[in-house]
Each structure stands twice: as C-alpha cells, then as structure tokens.
Structure 1
Amino acid sequence: MNKKKLSERDICSKYITPALINSGWDLHIQIREEFPLTNGRIIVRGQLHTRAKNKRADYALFYKPGIPIAIVEAKDNNHTVSDGMQQGLAYGNMINVPFVFSSNGDGFLFHNSIAKDGKIETEISLEEFPSPEALWKMWCEHREITPVQEAIITEDYYSDGSNKIPRYYQLLAINKTIEAVARGDNRILLVMATGTGKTYTAFQIIWRLWKSKTKKRILFLADRNILVDQTMTNDFKPFGSAMTKISKRQANKSYEIYLSLYQAVTGTEEEQNVYKQFSPEFFDLIVIDECHRGSAADDSNWRRILEYFSDATQIGLTATPKETQEVSNTDYFGKPIYTYSLRQGIDDGFLAPYKVVRIDLDKDVTGWRPDKDMTDKYGNLIDDRIYNQKDFDKSLVLDKRTQLVAKKISDFLKQTNRYDKTIVFCDNIDHAERMRQALVNENSDITSTNNKYVVRITGDNEEGKMELDNFIFPESKFPVIATTSKLMPTGVDAQTCKLIVLDQRIQSMTEFKQIIGRGTRINEDYNKFFFTIMDFKKATELFADPDFDGEPVVIYDPKPGGSPVPPDEIDGGTNTPPDNGGNGNTGGDGGDTSIIKKFYVANVPVSVIAERVQYFDANGKLITESLKDYTKKALEKEFTSLDDFLTKWSDADKKKIIIDELANEGVFFEALAEEIGKDLDPFDIICHVAWDKPPLSRKERAEQVKKRNYFTKYGEQAQKVINALLDKYADEGVEPIEETKILTIQPFTDYGTPIEIIKIFGGKVQYEEAVKELEQAIYSS
C-alpha cells in the first residue's frame, strides 16, 4: 500500500489508532477521535451570523473519562512525522496536558514536557507508543501525587450514559479543583463567565468528592430562590433522595446534599439563624454560588455562615471577582485556581458576541437648566441648577426623555423582531415603572390585547416577580420586554434574551459584567446566536477599562471603622432615597422644595444627537458594522494584492475552498451582493470590495464566454454539456458546477448518465480539466 496516496483519515484508521490500541488504550473509553475543543467563534454582521472554524484535536487521550492526559495530532504521509507538533502543542496547552504526539503514520514525535532527563522531544516507532499507565505514572510522579490523593483525583465523573463529557474549560476547572481539595486546600475560587456552566461545573466537583467519600455532607449556597430551584431540578437532579432544600424552619440532618438560599438560614434574630442548628463540623464542603456579592463583605450574612463552618472546604464560584478598596473575595478565598473569561467564551464560540447601539440624547450631553421660577408638573418649584445625565431619573425626570428611549427601543424591535426577549435596566423602581408605561404606549397594537407584552420585574412588585419564570422560559412567548432596576443583573438565566437596554448609570465594573452576562447565552433552537446592547447612558464606555475581563487584581484596603460596602452598592446601587409617591413630594403643599426628592417635568423636548452601531470583538476592539468595510479588511489580511488573489483563485482546484474559508472569516457573500445590488459571483464581490473593480453579474460573465466562441474546441455532445454548465453558473454560481453530482439533474440527464457524460470527455480527469478550463474562461476578463 502506498502511504503517500492515503488521506489523513486513512492514516489515522490504518496506523495511528491500531498503534494506540496495541499499547493498551481502550478505543471506547480512553480514545476520543476528532475531539472538539471549541465551537468556533460566532461572527456577526448586520442580522446575519456564521461560525469560524472550530478547534478540534485529532485525538484526545484520557486516563479515565474526564481526565485528559495526551493529545495526538495526525497528518497524511506527505508530511513529516513532526509536522503536526505545533498544532498539537496548542491543543495540549488548552487542556493542560503534559504529553503531545505528532504522527504521519510512520511513527510518532513524542513531546514530554516533564521529561526528567531534559530530552523533551524524541521520535518513537508505532510499536513504542506508551501505555495509559506509563503516562499516568510519569504525570503523578511529577506532581508528587500520593496514592490517597490519586484515589480522589481519579474518581469518576457523573455520566448519564451518553458519552458526553464536560467542555475543555469545565474539565480544567473541575480537575484543578478536585486536585486542590485532594492536596488539602480549603479555600478555592473559580472564576467563570456567565453562561459557561458554573453550576454544572460545581455539580461535577461535588459529585466526585461525594462519590469518593472525600466529602460527605455538602452545602450549596445561592442568593436567589430561582437559582436553588433550577439547580435542584436540573444540574443536581442525579443526587436524588440524598438532596434537600433548607427552609427557614427546617434543619433536617438526615441528608447529605443541602441546597439553601442564604437568606433562608440567616436573620437578624438569633433564632432565625437556622444554620446554627447544625454543628460547626456538620458540613465538610460548602460551595458558594455568585460569591462576588454578599460573601465578599466582612459583615455579610454569607461571611458569617462561612466563618461558622470555617473547618469546611469552601469553594467560591463567580463570574466577576469582587475587587474594590473596601471589599475583596480574593482576600478571603485566595487567588482564583482557574479563570475562564467572557473574552475566552466568546472567542471559543461558547458565548454569544454582542453589538452595541450607542444613542446620545441632547439633554444628556448638554445638560438642562430650568427657566426662572419654573415648576414641575405637580407644581413644585424646580431647583435652579444645571441637570445632566447623572441627575436624570434620580433627582429629575424628563417625561419626553423616557418616551424617546421607549420609542427607540420599540423601533429597534420593529426592525428586527418584536418578540425578541428584551431587558431594560433602569436607575430605580420608579424609573422602571415609568419606562413600562412608555413602552406599553409605544406598542399599543400589541399591549391592547396582551398586557404581558411589557412587564416591570422589580423587587417590590409581586405580580412582576411572578412573571420572571415566564420571561426566562424559552418556550414562553410572553412577557417580551422586562423593565427592571436591580432584580435581574445576576443569576437569571435568560437564554433567549436578544436585547439589553442600558438606561441606567453604571460605574461598577462588576455590575456591568453581570448585566452583560444576561445576554451571553447561546440558544440555537431559538436562533439566539448574538445579542445587542442599546446604551443610552454611556455605560459601554467601561469596555475601554483595561480591567474589562482581565485577571482580577487584589486592592483590598479597608478603612478603619468605615463601611465594608462601597457607596455605589448601598441601597441596591442607586444611591437614591426611597421614591416619594406619585407626585414627587412627601405630602406638603408642594411649595417647600427642601423636601422634594424628585422633580417631574412634562414638556421639555428631548432629541437624539448621535446614533451609531458598533461591534466589539473578543478583545473588546471596535468593529464597524459596514459589511463592505469589514470585508475589505478581512480580504486585505487574506491577500496581499489583487494579483495575489487572482493567482490563488486561478490555482485553486475548487473555488469553493476559498469561498468557504472567507465565509469562516465573516465574509457574507449573499449580503454583500444584495448591498451592491447585483447578482454577483464571489469573485466579483471580492474584486469590487477590496480593489474597487467594476463588478460583472454572473449572467454577464456567461454571455462574455459565449461571445468568444469558446465551445468550438469541443465535439457536439461535449458542447451541449459545457453550455449547460455555463447556464448553471449564470443561475447558481460556481460551486454547483464543481461537483459531478450536478450531472444527475436536468438538463444533463438528457445527455446520458453521469458516467456516459464523463466518457464524452474521455474520462473523469479530462472532464474535471474541462470544468477547470471553463472556470478560467469565466474569470479571464
């Protein structure tokens, strides 16, 4: 057998896989071929999207399911044995394995990053591939893992029998945590972006520690009731009858897995502190979900629980580590053992990318000052000063501003999809209610028949909170728009949310990341691949912060005797006194402005002075929305010049390869053709967009070929086939005519079977050459 003629897949099946099996690797348990690492970043232009090529290792080798130990990268035999090593090392770094192999079917290049003799890379024969036990022993000796620790580390993952294993970053988070616990670490912090599966990761950690009997009684703490309930019915369901939820009056000690709302086990009175009904030694593992909030403060309820059970191993989960001068959770938990950021999640294609619609309103930018002795709509004398963006909806309300924001939101939905789930973040409860009213009026054609199209979901409104489940449930059509202030920044799994509106002044990076996290989940079943942020209050300027999605930095510096809670988080982060009723005062005669909390102004006009759409890539860099501008930049990266493009296009055996590669880079040929206004071939789109060449339609190109008497060099039957191919090109483009299956449809079936048609040209090679020459004639102009 001539190895040089074998494909890469053939090399794998005939040489590499047998070598692994002969060395003791189990084909069904330890060998994962074409192992997916990423999903491929979602690239968005306009309302269209595509996915970049995903990263996939030819082989991932597992000592046990969920415990990766090596990567094998394969190449066909026209490459050297080492040609796959660089790629293999990149994949090995992603899943943190010490052993990488490259092969072309002749043997292996073995990269051993922990080699004791310093010889990192060596060539070995197919028969010398090391066994699972040999690699695992080397790895354990290098990490100085004891037999007791090994038993904990190698405990099986939970499996539902589907052969599904966690994503690569979840594997890293789980395995690093299990190993840290096995080594005796008792304070562990995991940082994982919203939407990346923190709860599922926590479940696998708890499951393995519980099954290995390393931890026998476990408490999972959250600060939202919906989080506890979702966790019990979804990710934690396999715990079954071993699991219970702690209530205000229940401290049943016969279970092993406990879930609790932290408010349910703490209170202001000593008898309300249910957690003290358990002895300090009762729990040996506590997992704290969303630990960036209450648990970070020294005097919080969460911290009191953690300190009461101080002997337990405590694992904190967060998307946004809390780091201010007054509060730090890394001071408590220590440096994160693993971080998977929003940036990484978007780049890997596990999280939805976003575009930003920035809308600047004239009064926000220039400010507004009342006329002399001007009163608001309730007769209150308005303080004479300049009011600007930080005042609006807190100390001063401009009704026309609220109405304009509602109109811009509604206009956006009307242009995209009026039933896209939308969250509008407002400055306070009063603002959220006024925004609800304005949106109801802007969408009266729907709200007149369904009053749940727009709802206010805030902490003070039971009716609204009851709609929260319906809002986040993908199959529930209503409510569509939710106005809120602080209820939904965190912990709400709104998988199908496609629009996030920021009409709230946000200066906390932690809060900003959490709000952005409401839209980052992907739900392909409901066509949710990206989302839009509509920003009215310049909150997205935080994208420019160098700390955005960077590694957390400890700056813990509490002031003696000072509050542990930063000013921007008091009273839910609004810094606004409680609302003063519907008329803007506390009940006097309206003349004493010293007690006015908020002025309401009805007839001051507000207008849009700037509106622009921006995209942010994985690094937070702005990308223009213009399809042509973006495409030009992508093409300039791919081709150094027009001549370079023409050469590569001409040399390509199939144009489809170039077209597919560019599509993976976010070049949308159909959308560009529509924008240019012609039925264009990708060739003409590229030449026109990148180098300003006048484009020809496919029909114009086909007509040019016919005018040159191109067909005369073929016999009569071959001319008919070539002419039919040219017509197909004019109608459908170049890709269909490159595939021989086109010969199975009309009008080709009139000329014979595919085999008979190919024989007209003298054989398959000659037929393919004729198609290639036809393409050269099409593009010669």
Structure 2
Amino acid sequence: MQELEIYTSEGGGGATRERARVRGASRFADYALLLRGKPAAVVEAKKTSRDARLGQEQALQYAEQLQRIHPGTLPLVLYTNGYDTFFWDSESFPPEKVHGFPARDDLEWLIQSRQDRRPLSVELINTNVAGRDYQIEAVRTVLDAIESHRKKFLLAMATGTGKTRTAVALVDVLQRARWVKRVLFLVDRIALQEQALSAFKEHLPASPRWPEQGETRFDRNRRIYVTTYPTMLNLIHAGTTPATWISPFFFDLIIADESHRSIYNIYQQVIRYFHGYTMGLTATPRDHVDHDTFALFDCPTGEPTFAYGFDEAVNHDPPYLCDFGVLKVRTKFQVEGIRGPKLGEGEREQLELEGLDLDTIDFEGTDLERKVANSGTNALIVREFMEESIKDSTGVLPGKSIFFAVSISHARRLQDLFDQFYPEHRGRLARVIVSDDSRVHGKGGLLDQFKTQDMPRVAISVDMLDTGVDIREVVNLVFAEPVYSYVKFWQMIGRGTRVLESDQAQRRPWCTEKDRFLIIDCWGNFEYFDIHPQGRAPGQQIPMPVLLFRARVDQLAAAAAAGDLDLAELIKADLRADI
C-alpha cells in the first residue's frame, strides 16, 4: 500500500492539501486533483532542468491506473517543469501547452461536460438567428470540425453577410448541447462591443452577459463576455491574486472579431492565453488574408474553415449584399502626387516589422493632414457630394452617408463647410462622429442618432466608422482620405453593402429603396489597390478648376452672410490667385 499526495485545486490557482491512500498501486503520481473525493486530474512534475514533455506518458499511465481504481471518466492530464505546463484531455485532443492550471470550477466543468454533452450532428441550428443558407453551412462546418477533434477555426465572410449572427447561432448550439459554458467575444472598439452585446441580448436572452451597461467590475457568473482586446489583456495582467486571477481555462470558446494582422501583432497573446475553442472572424477576402492569421487558427494558407465572398453574396437571388458604383473625383491632391508612391509587398512587410501598422496610420499633426485640412479642395468635395450623392425619396437630401476623413481637424473642417453651404439645416445635416467624443456612444448618442433618426444624414468619421458598424440605410461613402491597407479598404466599403429589410414596413422613411450604393473616391484608392469596379460618370463634366472656383464663390457668400469678414478676405485672396 502506497500513500498518494492529493490536492484539490481551488479558484485562483490555490490548493487545499488532502491525504489519501491507494491500494495496489505499483507507482504513484506527483499530484492528483480531486473533485468530491474522486481524482479528476493528475499532475506530473519534472525538475526545472528537464523537459516537461518527459512526463507525458507517465502522467497518462497514472491517469489510466486511477481510472481502474476509481471507475468512471479518465482523469485529465497535466505535466510541468515549473516553466512549461501541458494539458491533455486524452479522450478529446492532443496535448497542448497552457499558461497555467485550471481552477476548481473549470475542472468540474471539464469533467461534467464530458459526461453531459450531446452529439452536435443532431443539434438543430436556430434559423431565426442565422437562417441564410451560407450561415447554416458555416455553423455546421464548425460543428463538424469540433466533432472531428479540431479546436481552431477561421470564418472568412464578406462584410455584411452576418458574421456576428453566425457566431451567435454557433454559441447557441454549443451551449444547448453542453459543449460550452462561458464564451469570450473579442472586438477592437467600443462601438462593436455595444453592437455584439445587443446581438447576444436579442438572440440569446437566457445567457447572462458581461458587461451590462455601466458595469466595470469583472463578474465570473455570466455566460457571454464581450470586451475589447486591450480590456481583456489588462484583466489577464491584473490577475495577481486569487480574487482577480482569470484561469486559462475560464472560457470554453473564444471568438475573435475582425481577425487580421493588425489585431494579432499586438493582441494575439490574449487569444493564445486561453485554452478553449478559438474562432476567428474576418471580412478580408480569403486571397488577402495573411499567412500569420491562417497559422494562428491552424488553417492552411488560403484555406479558412469556411468562406463566403462579396461576389457570391451580390450575385445571389435575391442579393444578400448591395453592389456599388464608384465616382472618381480627381482632386488636386492626386494631381500634385501628395499621396506618395504605392508600397510593394516587401516595403509593407518592412514597415510592419518596424511597428507601423498600415491599418491604423495616424495623420494627426502631419504635413499631409495640414495640407488637406486647410485646402480649398474640401469645398469641392462637399459640393460634388451634394450634387452627385444618392438622394432620399424627395430627391433633395442625400441618403445616409459616411465621410472618411484624414484627421479630426479635417473632419471638423468638412462639417464647417456643410454648415456654411447649407445653413438651412441648422447644423444638423452633417456631424463629426469620433471615438474620443463622449457624446457619441450609448442610446441617444451621435452614433445612435445617425442610425435611428432622420438627421444627421452625413457622419464624418476618423477610423471609428471604418469597421463593424452596421447601418443598412447607408447609400453613400466618401473616401476623403488615402487608404494604404487592402484589408481596411474592404472593411470600409462594407459600411455600404447591407441590404434593407425585406419587409417594407420595417424600413426607415429616409431610405425606402436601396439596390446599389455610391462610393465617391477622392484619393484614387481603387487605382492604388488595382481594383476596377463599375464606374459612374458625374452628372456634369465640368473641369475641376471651374468647380473649385464655384465652391470658393459659395464659401465667400456663406462667409459674408455669417458676417465673418476675415474669412471672406482670405477666400477673396484665393479667388484672385485662381484668376
């Protein structure tokens, strides 16, 4: 008879020591983790000077021996040398390196789930959540992969095809079938957090969510957690006590929204920290997803777990996405070559190695930003937009529109021009919507007004509305900034691809019809990325200098009407120079 040291793992990584005797054991494990007096896991501890993986087979043999002594589920296996720790659920997956031990609650769920989970192949998908054929196929593809003992998945679905709804439908199946208890949904900005929380609340009301409005303290008793990458990273780093520690086994499923290189260069450690199933969502066309993203989700390069592209969605009958036309406005920035040369792939990779993220270039305070913000070309862009944009049913006002500006000061300048040229709208036609403005977020905020109210019609944004914000009624996009990332460019285009509700009664009065949307490109972005969509000719072919001169005359009239004599004199000087 030999004595076996047994530990019961507690939350926070602590332990309560117990003693137990095992008859007939010819060998013994270093540690065992007990649940209700029965071994749930064994731990093989090697010296720090030895490879932890030398304990793999030993630990498995101990687990099998304990199963013979205590009939039931095969205990889980962990082996470590103090630096590296490996976890092995030998009934389900190969061994994997983990960042720590499971807490007692995690261990209990891992064992209980083994016994309770139902076959995924017979579980029904809720088509009220994700009812389109490709969404059902996407969910079923992931479920089949899980039953084939895979743990990582990547869905490449065009912007507007319902990635979030697809993810919610998957979560619904996995929670009902007892494969998953707690889910982490990661986003890269607060606006997307609010949007995802709303989707889970609508479709999975019985699954408690964190955070609720105004909630900041982490709560361990929820089922759905939606947060930004930096917030989750901070929570992990802050876990230095049993009360604040978040176990690597806390989440059973991690969903990473907007999965592309710019996110993972900084925050992939969040995804790698947790042990559960991991699924990435990306709107990037599969042939432009970088190999690092495929590798992170254990997918061969160019082969996501599931893909559904823009062309497939547009060509479906009826269409799932709106196609677009492009109006190219040749501004003086292009004429003067301010944008700069196109970067080759080698140059792009070198810049990324040096820490420059092409998805998040900040123009604030640069010479380019100053030239753009102060240029008379902005007046031309505003006037051209008001003449050429897709209008509402009255044919007078533009439909819902997004301007992508170079910087906040550029955005403010554009808003000022709308107010000067169209004072009859009393400052409500166009509004700047940027993330550092406290008035933007929440019910009744500027973003909510843009989504749900008649005014404003024009949202002028710097980065905030580039990705993930779903507004079906957007019919005009204005690229008043240069874009250098192909991934970001398609995400921005996706702001206009949503189709309207099929039920006419549910449509907004300012957008009752939408079969296409318009992109006004002021920076030659389509040429930059060598994309050749269907173009749209301007309503009148007037030379740019003439349009610019007319716009300045309009500015002069607006300045005079407002009594701004200093501005009027500056505009007069520009007009004389033009002449």
TM-score (ref. length: structure 2):
0.59
What residue in structure 2 maps to residue 470 of structure 1? 449
Contact 1:251 1:278 in 2 (8 A): no
Residue 175 of structure 1 and its aligned partner are, at CA, apart by 0.8
Report the secondary structure of 1:234's partner residue.
helix
Contact 1:251 1:277 in 2 (8 A): no
For 1:229 and 1:313, the matched residues in 2 are separated by 23
Residue 420 of structure 1 and its aligned partner are, at CA, apart by 0.5
Among residues 508, 513, 535, which one is paired with 2:521 in the alignment?
535
Within 5 Å, which residues of 2 pair with 1:345-356?
345-348=313-316, 349-356=319-326
1:529 maps to amino acid: D
For 2:370 and 2:252, the matched residues in 1 are separated by 46
Q: Does 1:405 align with 2:386?
A: no
What residue in structure 1 maps to residue 424 of structure 2? 445
Report the secondary structure of 2:186's partner residue.
strand
What residue in structure 2 maps to residue 185 of structure 1? 150
Among residues 281, 289, 309, which one is paired with 1:317 in the alignment?
281
What residue in structure 2 maps to residue 669 of structure 1? none
For 1:363 and 1:157, the matched residues in 2 are separated by 51
Q: Does 1:285 align with 2:253?
A: yes
Residue 362 of structure 1 and its aligned partner are, at CA, apart by 4.4
1:178 maps to amino acid: L
Contact 1:396 1:601 in 2 (8 A): no
1:519 maps to amino acid: G
Q: Does 1:515 align with 2:492?
A: yes
Give the aligned CA root-mean-square deviation in angstroms.
3.6
Residue 238 of structure 1 and its aligned partner are, at CA, apart by 4.0
Residue 246 of structure 1 and its aligned partner are, at CA, apart by 3.7
Residue 295 of structure 1 and its aligned partner are, at CA, apart by 3.6
Q: Does 1:264 align with 2:243?
A: no
Contact 1:353 1:520 in 2 (8 A): yes
Q: Who wins on radius of gyration, i.e. which is larger?
A: 1
2:295 maps to amino acid: D
For 2:257 and 2:440, the matched residues in 1 are separated by 25
What residue in structure 1 maps to residue 431 of structure 2? 455
1:522 maps to amino acid: V
For 1:290 and 1:366, the matched residues in 2 are separated by 35
1:477 maps to amino acid: D
Residue 285 of structure 1 and its aligned partner are, at CA, apart by 1.1
For 2:576 and 2:404, the matched residues in 1 are separated by 20
What residue in structure 1 maps to residue 296 of structure 2? 332
Q: Could you give the per-residue CA deviations for residues 550-587 of structure 1, whole angstroms, max 9, x where no partner exists?
A: xxxxxxxxxxxxxxxxxxxxxxxxxxxxxxxxxxxxxx
For 1:191 and 1:487, the matched residues in 2 are separated by 22
2:233 maps to amino acid: T
Residue 226 of structure 1 and its aligned partner are, at CA, apart by 3.1
Among residues 480, 503, 506, which one is paired with 2:480 in the alignment?
503
Residue 506 of structure 1 and its aligned partner are, at CA, apart by 1.2
Contact 1:219 1:259 in 2 (8 A): yes
Residue 167 of structure 1 and its aligned partner are, at CA, apart by 1.1
Q: Could you give the per-residue CA deviations for residues 684-708 of structure 1, whole angstroms, max 9, x where no partner exists?
A: xxxxxxxxxxxxxxxxxxxxxxxxx
Residue 193 of structure 1 and its aligned partner are, at CA, apart by 0.8
What residue in structure 2 maps to residue 252 of structure 1? 219
1:425 maps to amino acid: F
Report the secondary structure of 2:330's partner residue.
strand
For 1:606 and 1:213, the matched residues in 2 are separated by 75
For 1:429 and 1:202, the matched residues in 2 are separated by 34
Residue 527 of structure 1 and its aligned partner are, at CA, apart by 1.4
Q: Could you give the per-residue CA deviations for residues 713-737 of structure 1, whole angstroms, max 9, x where no partner exists?
A: xxxxxxxxxxxxxxxxxxxxxxxxx
Residue 464 of structure 1 and its aligned partner are, at CA, apart by 4.7
For 2:201 and 2:574, the matched residues in 1 are separated by 54
Residue 343 of structure 1 and its aligned partner are, at CA, apart by 1.5
2:399 maps to amino acid: D
What residue in structure 1 maps to residue 27 of structure 2? none
For 1:262 and 1:532, the matched residues in 2 are separated by 33
For 2:455 and 2:234, the matched residues in 1 are separated by 36
Report sequence identity in percent: 25
For 2:185 and 2:126, the matched residues in 1 are separated by 18
What residue in structure 2 maps to residue 210 of structure 1? 175
Q: Could you give the per-residue CA deviations for residues 581-603 of structure 1, whole angstroms, max 9, x where no partner exists?
A: xxxxxxxxxxxxxxxxxxx9995
Contact 2:288 2:487 in 1 (8 A): no
2:417 maps to amino acid: A
Residue 412 of structure 1 and its aligned partner are, at CA, apart by 2.3
Residue 209 of structure 1 and its aligned partner are, at CA, apart by 1.2
For 2:234 and 2:183, the matched residues in 1 are separated by 21
Among residues 114, 134, 140, which one is paired with 1:169 in the alignment?
134
Contact 1:266 1:272 in 2 (8 A): no
For 1:286 and 1:255, the matched residues in 2 are separated by 15
For 1:542 and 1:471, the matched residues in 2 are separated by 30
What residue in structure 2 maps to residue 364 of structure 1? 334
Residue 230 of structure 1 and its aligned partner are, at CA, apart by 2.9
How many residues in Structure 1 have an aligned counterpart in Structure 2? 377
For structure 2, the 5+ residue unaligned runs are: 1-115, 339-365, 502-506, 534-569
Contact 2:256 2:281 in 1 (8 A): yes
1:428 maps to amino acid: S
Tell me: CA distance 1:313–1:165, structure 2 relative to 1, closer, same or farther (3 Å). Answer: closer
For 1:545 and 1:411, the matched residues in 2 are separated by 25
What residue in structure 1 maps to residue 309 of structure 2? 341
For 2:130 and 2:436, the matched residues in 1 are separated by 42
Contact 1:400 1:603 in 2 (8 A): no
For 2:463 and 2:230, the matched residues in 1 are separated by 17
For 1:543 and 1:280, the matched residues in 2 are separated by 41
Among residues 193, 202, 213, which one is paired with 1:237 in the alignment?
202
Contact 2:334 2:524 in 1 (8 A): no
Residue 438 of structure 1 and its aligned partner are, at CA, apart by 1.0
